[in-house]
């Protein structure tokens, strides 16, 4: 018997596509509710939007997700969609219901409540070094997780200096002000001092920096909806006309520099976006600005 959990359900339901199909068939029993081509489904009827053909389903990072062509906030993964139909009281209850109606034959393994104490912690935490201004300070002040960095960016801590920077017109004066006043982090890891040779541990993150964008909001939307790279953190740069895009990389498949080159080429070919080449350095310094709308992936919020 295979244990009942999120991953085994996805394995048994084609990344969740069969769950979408089951739910939709309850509303439209005499219709072909889903047509899958590659990793995308043909737009279909949405029972939660007056049966309009506005529901878009695709597979991203091995899980099926959905959006609606009309409803801006109607989005989520297959389990969010299933919950709209089953209306269960907990995640495990939802899993049991899916297991039952789709005849997945998965089982729950009863465990001693304290067994988890003996299990290794395989949770991925992205740990980054934090440095106090000015930029010439190359020794970290402390180590932060992504949700802690996000809290700094969305708080009012950097609001005053961000506002001051954006009214400076002279490019040289602007550069000097930023270097002297903004705290910064090395998103790609923990360092003894900020230098590629003094890396203590890589975070599996890489920073992609975009400068002088004609439409920041449009690019932000493209990055958040990209089907190949999942956004861990995304915020507006201190200047106000750029973005800092933080994504996860797999160092078992390629080096930091190889990943940077591949991502930069992909962005150029896909969105015609030029990337700041300084991101190829593991010890790349990234200034923290004020952005109340900064995006943080929901998995990091569970570490708060």
pLDDT at 120: 55
pLDDT in tens, 193-234: 999 999 999 999 999 999 999 999 999 999 999 988 999 999
Question: For residue 108, what is the DSSP state?
Answer: P
Based on C-alpha coordinates, what's the Rg of the chain?
22
Say yes or no to pLDDT of 250 above 60. yes
Q: What is the average pLDDT score of the chain?
A: 92
Collapsing DSSP states into helix, strand and coil, what is residue 154? helix
Mean pLDDT of 18-37: 93
Say yes or no to pLDDT of 119 above 60. no
pLDDT at 36: 87
pLDDT at 277: 86
Would the pTM of this model clear 0.75, i.e. be above it?
Answer: no
Per-residue pLDDT band for 241 (boundaries 50, 70, 90) equals very high
Q: Among 35-44, 102-111, 263-272, which is the least confidently predicted range?
A: 102-111
Mean pLDDT of 272-292: 92
pLDDT at 122: 54
pLDDT at 133: 96
Q: Residue 179: is it exposed, middle or buried by C-beta count within 10 angstroms (0-12/13-18/19+)?
A: middle
């Amino acid at each position: 018997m295979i244990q009942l959990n999120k991953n085994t359900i996805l394995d048994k339901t084609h990344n969740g596509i069969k769950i979408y199909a089951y739910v939709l068939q309850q509303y439209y029993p005499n219709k072909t509710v889903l047509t899958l081509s590659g990793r995308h489904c043909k737009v279909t009827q949405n029972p939660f939007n007056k049966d309009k053909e506005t529901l878009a389903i695709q597979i991203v990072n091995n899980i099926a997700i959905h959006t609606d062509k009309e409803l801006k906030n109607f989005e989520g993964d297959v389990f969010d969609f299933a919950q709209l139909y089953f209306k269960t009281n907990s995640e495990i209850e939802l899993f049991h219901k899916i297991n039952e109606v789709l005849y997945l034959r998965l089982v729950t393994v009863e465990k001693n409540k304290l067994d988890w104490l003996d299990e290794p912690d395989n949770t991925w935490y992205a740990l980054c070094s934090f440095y106090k201004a000015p930029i010439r300070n190359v020794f970290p002040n402390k180590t932060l997780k992504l949700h802690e960095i996000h809290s700094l960016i969305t708080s009012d801590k950097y609001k005053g200096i961000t506002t001051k920077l954006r009214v400076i017109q002279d490019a040289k004066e602007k550069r000097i002000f930023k270097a002297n006043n903004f705290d910064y982090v090395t998103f790609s890891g923990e360092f003894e001092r900020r230098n590629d040779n003094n890396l203590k541990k890589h975070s599996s993150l890489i920073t992609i920096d975009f400068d002088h964008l004609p439409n920041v909001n449009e690019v932000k939307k493209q990055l958040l909806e990209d089907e190949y790279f999942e956004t861990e953190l995304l915020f507006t740069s201190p200047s106000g006309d750029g973005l800092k895009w933080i994504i996860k990389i797999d160092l078992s498949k390629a080096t930091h520099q190889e990943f940077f080159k591949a991502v930069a080429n992909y962005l150029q070919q896909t969105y015609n976006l030029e990337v700041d080449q300084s991101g190829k350095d593991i010890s790349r310094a990234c200034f923290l600005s004020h952005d109340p709308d900064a995006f943080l992936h929901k998995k990091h919020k569970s570490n708060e």
